[in-house]
Amino acid sequence: MKKSLALSIFLIALLIQNQSPFLEIEASGSRNGGFITTRGVHFMLNGSPYYANGFNAYWLMLLASDPSQRPKVSAAFQQASSHGLSVARTWAFSDGGTIPLQYSPGSYNEQMFKGLDFVVAEARRFGIKLVLSLVNNYENLGGKKQYVNWARNQGQYVTSDDDFFRNPVAKGFYKNHVKTVLNRYNTITGVMYKNDPTIMAWELMNEPRCTSDTSGRTIQGWITEMAAHVKSIDQNHLLEAGLEGFYGKTDPRNPGFNVGTDFIANNLVRGIDFATLHSYPDQWLTSYDDQSQLNFLSNWLRTHIHDAQYVLKKPLLLTEFGKSAKDPNFSPYQRDRLFNMVYNNIYMSAKHGGAAAGGLFWQLLADGMESFGDGYDIVLSQGTSTANLIGQQGHKLYQIRKIFARMRNVQRWKRARAARRAQWLAWKRGLKPIGN
């Protein structure tokens, strides 16, 4: 084991010395491959460990619902693919409001759903896997507040947005949405979502929080119930809870947050296939200077990578991180330092067979989308230093994938050679000398 690990590290070092741009693009079919699964602390694709350099683009379905805006979706995927980005996280929800996917419980906007169909189809065309989130913790695009209001309109006595996690009617509305999305027949590809390997995973909720019950029991019960519901419909795809990574109520490692979640307990739930992590030190530690925020980030990443590997024994995906250009004294150099720290932690873990499987920055925009800018946005076509770092990380993780695939092929060849030799020896032992 040590010998093979040393060999893999040596090969990786040789490959990484060549810092050429990420130009080697696999054929779309082979790159997208089959369903991503897990084996221990690794994601697996086509029998080899899979590492994901990715991005967030919550807006994909919204823009794709307008055919005139679809070129922006295609451009984002094309630019992402050319920079070695292989996973996109986006919303499969928009509840109520002026641009709904779901007008009201069980009533859907077909034009918006066709937009999501297009997103899945384009991701497939460009060899990009999708993580689809099913509801928001926040009011943006409806979220749990909208579900609670729908329940209230049905005569339910609800007093808090957190009743989303407790009220049986609100939970029933959510379960129906899950069922509807998973069973959606894609009008472009002809494949039901639950049967489409373009989708890497479902996310129960974007950043679930239940501040009315900081003991963690409410969130734990909801995740347990909803994970079982998703798996009863779809056993092809992976599932994650959407957590930010906060530990339990009294854990000193939290950055001053007490939101009713527990990174360990929540991710140990049966049906949750991998752990997720978010990190925004510029939001969480606003009174800290840049270096102190980076120090926190380093410890935050290493702690969660360790716990994913040795406690959860599941893969870990950093599904949101970034640095806002709206911060005082922001500079691209500061953002690059943060990206470098994130990417180096992921790469070092991946290189040594650890649990960290990739990072998805917030957020990717295409040209002409200035109105969607939130300070964290990155337009790859602008060729910034951060875009170059993103491309380099994609190249490095791709090389690790290639090395593991080569090692697997060598092992297959050795097994086949041993089998042929065994067959030859058996045949030889079966021969009898002539004349006896």
Cα–Cα distance for residue pair 36/46, rounded to 1 Å: 8
Residue 156: partners with Cβ closer than 8 Å, 6 or more residues away: 163, 167, 169, 170
| Catalytic option among 122, 240, 244, 320 | 320
Q: Which residue from 388, 391, 367, 358 is spatially nearest to 131, judged by alpha carbons?
A: 358
Cα–Cα distance for residue pair 177/356, rounded to 1 Å: 31
Query: Which residue has tokens 């055919």?
Result: 67
Q: Tell me the β-bridge partners of 161.
A: none
Amino acid at 73: V
Amino acid at 304: H
Amino acid at 91: W
Cα–Cα distance for residue pair 72/365, rounded to 1 Å: 9
Q: Is 207 a catalytic residue?
A: yes
Contact between residue 194 and residue 239 where contact means Cβ atoms under 8 Å apart: no
Contact between residue 316 and residue 308 where contact means Cβ atoms under 8 Å apart: yes
SS3 content of the chain, % helix, strand, coil (to 5): 50, 15, 35
Q: Which residue from 147, 132, 377 is spatially nearest to 239, judged by alpha carbons?
A: 132
**What's the Rg (C-alpha) of the chain?**
23
DSSP of 70-86, one letter per residue?
A: HHHHHHHHHHHHHTT--
Reading the block at residue 114, the tokens are 């066709």
Cα–Cα distance for residue pair 262/244, rounded to 1 Å: 10
| Catalytic option among 122, 207, 240, 244 | 207
Contact between residue 200 and residue 130 where contact means Cβ atoms under 8 Å apart: yes
Cα–Cα distance for residue pair 237/314, rounded to 1 Å: 15
Reading the block at residue 209, the tokens are 């929080």
Cα–Cα distance for residue pair 71/77, rounded to 1 Å: 10
Query: Which residue has tokens 């419909």?
Result: 233
Strands 42-45 and 48-50: antiparallel
Which residues are known catalytic residues?
A: 207, 320
